[in-house]
């Protein structure tokens, strides 16, 4: 349905991973506060490299089940500071799931919000999805705050629904519809125009 994805924002370029990104990804991917929320576990260097190799192959969305994963690069110095992904979960219902990871040194600077905003634009405008959702751990307050700031609403709170690394896991499910995103984007654009004027 789509070719290789390249997205650009004011401060960022979102593109498929390149071999040269490996060192940067290894620098944040295996950190405990990132690993605890990822699907692909990296208990050592070898597993982190395997996860990186798998993400490098996720460059196109051609059928439900496909995932596109993009390196988040700062324009100012071309450094890779994290990644975002969109999984096309259902063609009939036009659904997708977003995920993200940002290196700790680059948090609280608006990079994740900027990158996910571009990814949501892509999901709704290019992929014509109807609904995009995100799942985060109940104790991940920063992710919940980020998703809410993007306009996603909390749809479900699953308490102690599964055992994860020997502890009961709590999940929060957020989502936003295409018309809600477009309305929010219009409001953001109007607000930005008012600040300039």
pLDDT score, position 32: 72
Taking CA atoms, 60 is separated from 12, 70, 160, in Å, by: 20, 10, 35
- Residue 2 · residue 126 · CB < 8 Å: yes
pLDDT score, position 28: 82
pLDDT score, position 196: 37
- Residue 84 · residue 99 · CB < 8 Å: yes
Q: Is the pLDDT of residue 89 over 60?
A: yes
Q: Is the pLDDT of residue 59 over 80?
A: yes
- Residue 25 · residue 52 · CB < 8 Å: yes
Q: Is the pLDDT of residue 190 over 70?
A: no
Helix (H, G, I), strand (E, B) or coil at 187: helix
Q: Is the pLDDT of residue 128 over 80?
A: yes
């Amino acid at each position: 349905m789509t070719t290789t994805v390249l997205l650009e924002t004011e401060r960022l370029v979102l593109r498929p991973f390149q071999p040269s990104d490996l060192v940067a990804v290894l620098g944040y991917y295996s950190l405990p506060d990132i690993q605890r929320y990822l699907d692909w576990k990296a208990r050592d260097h070898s597993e982190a490299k395997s996860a990186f190799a798998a993400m490098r192959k996720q460059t196109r969305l051609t059928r439900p089940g496909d995932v596109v994963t993009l390196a988040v690069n700062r324009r100012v110095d071309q450094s890779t500071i994290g990644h975002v992904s969109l999984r096309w979960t259902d063609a009939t219902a036009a659904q997708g799931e977003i995920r993200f990871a940002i290196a700790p040194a680059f948090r609280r600077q608006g990079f994740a919000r900027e990158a996910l905003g571009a990814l949501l634009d892509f999901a709704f405008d290019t992929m014509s999805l109807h609904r995009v959702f995100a799942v985060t751990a109940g104790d991940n307050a920063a992710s919940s705050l980020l998703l809410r700031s993007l306009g996603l609403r909390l749809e479900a709170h699953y308490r102690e629904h599964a055992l994860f690394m020997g502890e009961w896991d709590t999940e929060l499910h957020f989502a936003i519809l295409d018309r809600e995103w477009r309305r929010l984007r219009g409001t953001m654009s109007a607000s930005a125009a008012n600040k300039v004027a």
